[in-house]
Amino acid sequence: MRPLSPKQALNVKSVLRMSGNQFTRLRTMFYNMDYRIFPSESAVRQEEAKLTSYLDDLAGVEVLYETLILSGKSRQHGLVAVLRCKNLVGYIQSIFEDLKLKGMIDSDHESVISLLFSGDKGGEHMKFHFEVIGNQSIVSVYDVHIFAMYKGSDCAENMEKVLAPFLTVLREIQSDGFRLDGHQVKVTFVF
């Protein structure tokens, strides 16, 4: 049996909807049974870093420094770089168009497109992301698109501060008049 590549391992993690800790336990369990099918944790983390590295080069991202809580336990504050997408609607439309070109969105304008907004703390970074869900049979880690991130605690105070600049645009996306190429949009938030 050949070992999975880091990219394949991330896909397994995504399909199984596992957190980083759950996936590490699964990998360790297989390793203890002498099944070396998963790559090392560092290889998986490097692959995850590649998936988010585009944020550094993307013209639509701004980096601002804000005072946030560094650790939820100590409640210590510090100056933290916060990356945010400058044009969230444009970003969503771009992803939607890409999925449509790949045939993952029904061309029938009567179909409803689902937008899922969520956040996840993995390692030291808190990431906020969205998924455009059309008619894909399997949703993958590659369908998750980060629109904001920072290094620090995932406490409610930090999340509210980082998401505050998006409130107006998120209300716009939730409105009945918002459409993606004529498709009605259903918005779900999971935090």
DSSP state of 13: H
For 12-67, how does the pLDDT look when each residue is reduced to its tens digit (9 = 90+)?
A: 887 777 777 888 899 999 999 999 999 988 888 888 776 655 545 555 788 888 89
Distance separating the N- and C-terminal Cα atoms of the chain = 38
What span, in angstroms and rounded, lies between the C-alpha atoms of 3 and 90? 39
Q: Which residues 6+ apart lie within 8 Å of 10 measured at CB?
A: 44, 47, 48, 51, 141
What span, in angstroms and rounded, lies between the C-alpha atoms of 125 and 137? 29
pLDDT at 3: 87
pLDDT at 136: 61
Assigned token pair, 39: 């790559």
pLDDT at 165: 95
Q: What are phi and psi of 96, to 5 degrees?
A: -60, -45
Query: Per DSSP, what are the bridge partners of residue 64?
Result: 82
Domain residue limits, the chain: 6-51, 58-190
Low-confidence ranges of the chain (pLDDT < 70): 50-59, 72, 135-141
